[in-house]
Amino acid sequence: MPLSPGQSLVIIIVTALVTFSTRVIPFLLFPEGRKIPKVVQYLGKVLPPAVIGMLIIYCYKNVSFLSAPFGVPEVLCGALVVVLYIWKRNNLLSIGAGTVLYMVLVQTVFS
């Protein structure tokens, strides 16, 4: 069932409000000059590596190392991401280059 223009507009407005509120809430909860609670500082320190670890596990969960192409594109691209990040310390560059290399490998070399 297609949506009417009014329904589409409501969905867009609600999505925009939710997105905006997720950006504003931290500034309301922790205004400048107010001390950030230790638990929030701790979470800010430990969550990024935990999320990256979960993403790595997710990316490799369906890779078959026992059948062709034996996970070669995934391992090559993962290694590229690690090397680029260690070298340049730039998340966008390393993830972007890994993604581009993976797409090239699976669509041309390992197709």
- Indicate the pLDDT class of residue 61, thresholds 50, 70 and 90: very high
Taking CA atoms, 91 is separated from 1, 2, 8, 21, in Å, by 41, 39, 34, 25
Query: Each residue of 5-48: pLDDT tens digit?
Result: 999 999 999 999 999 999 999 999 999 989 999 999 999 999 99
Structure tokens at 79: 């290694």
User: Model pTM?
Assistant: 0.67
Give pLDDT tens digits for 63-111. Answer: 999 999 999 999 999 999 999 999 999 999 999 999 999 999 999 999 8
**Is 1's pLDDT higher than 90?**
no
Tokens, residue 28: 């309301």
As separate numbers, helices (DSSP H) first and strands (DSSP E) second, the chain gives: 4, 0
Per-state percent for the chain, helix, strand, coil, to nearest 5:
75, 0, 25
Domain boundaries, the chain: 1-34, 41-109
User: 77, 98 in Cβ contact below 8 A?
Assistant: yes
For residues 77 and 105, the answer to whether their CB atoms sit within 8 Å is: yes
Among 36, 18, 38, 19, residue whose Cα is nearest residue 27: 36
CA distance 72 to 34: 50
